[in-house]
Copies of this chain bind each other. A is one copy, B any other.
Amino acid sequence: MLKDIVLAEGSGFCFGVKRAIDIAFDVAKKHKDGVFTLGPIIHNPQVVEKLKDLGVYPIDDIYGQNIKTLIIRAHGIPKEKFEEIKKLGIEVIDATCPFVKKAQNLAEKLASEGYQVLIIGDKEHPEVKGIFSYAGEKAVVISSDEFPILNKKIGIIQQTTQPMSKVKEIVSKIVNSHNEFEEIRIFNTLCNFTSRRLETTEKVAKQVDVMIVVGGKNSANTTQLAKLCKSIGVKTYHIEDAQEIDKEWVESAKKIGITAGASTPQWIIDEVIDKIKKFTN
């Protein structure tokens, strides 16, 4: 019996990731040597290998290599690192996601206007480290309930992939615990595509027996998708590729849902669908 398989709309590569990959392939065509990306362009080994074949190599740091052109990946990098690179006379191709750039710019503007900048997000995430570097001395990253001492004038922004529900919860808590504020200014720096993917995933998860979430185990936005599905109460499996799928997961299900994180290429999603079809036909 052919199973009913539903793929959440907007699964896979997001706008910022697609753009960064396009930029990298474009640079590979035009430049012959000395082209690098600072960190892997996305958390996907196949894409990274393909770029290597074209002469674009990922590096961890800017020293010890003869770098002519350096591509900044979608997450962005800290301000100090950017300045360091410029000083070395390296040509910079900035593929920072425009949503992340917006957050960086707002962080810098708020800090320069005297606001204490609060960033809702994961302080270990490269994107947040980048935004934080623009947010001035008083900046704080907030991920849950432990609030810092709040200044009278605060500006709140977010890591682009945070869920809106969490942002609202934290902002409400800040408003309610801040007794002597002069001004609280909240900018929405969430990525539309991520919010949309969370919505479509929720919709699918509510109508299926099993959810297969595809993407890096260390990918924040994929982990968030898996967490969301589990919170709805549907049986959820988080996998990195089709090889991991167990026949038992899907054979007894009537309807199977699939969603995928922002750095999951379409061909991995296709393989997952094929494998499920094979197991359930």
Contacts and interface: CB of A to CB of B under 8 A. Distances in A.
Contacts of A182: 187-188
Nearest to A170: B175
Contacts of A171: 175
Given A171-B175, A175-B171, A176-B168, A186 B183 contact: yes
A185 interface: yes
A181 interface: yes
Contacts of A175: 168, 171-172, 175, 186
Nearest to A183: B187
Closest 10 CB pairs of A and B: A172-B172, A184-B186, A185-B185, A171-B175, A168-B176, A183-B187, A181-B188, A182-B188, A168-B175, A172-B175
A186 B185 contact: yes
Interface residues of A, number: 15
A87 to B, nearest CB: 35
Interface in A171-219: 171-172, 175-176, 179, 181-188
Contacts of A172: 172, 175-176
B188 A164 contact: no
Nearest to A171: B175
Contact of A183 (B179, B183, B188): B188
Nearest to A181: B188
B181 A183 contact: no
Contacts of A179: 164
Nearest to A173: B172
A171 to B, nearest CB: 5
A2 to B, nearest CB: 37
A89 B129 CA distance: 60
A114 B213 CA distance: 42
Interface string A146-167: 0000000000000000001000
Nearest to A180: B188
Nearest to A106: B183
A247 to B, nearest CB: 40
A116 to B, nearest CB: 15
A176 B168 CA distance: 6
Contacts of A186: 175, 181, 183-186
A168 B184 CA distance: 12
A237 to B, nearest CB: 30
16 contacts: A164-B179, A168-B175, A168-B176, A171-B175, A172-B172, A172-B176, A175-B175, A175-B186, A181-B188, A182-B187, A182-B188, A183-B185, A183-B186, A183-B187, A185-B185, A186-B186
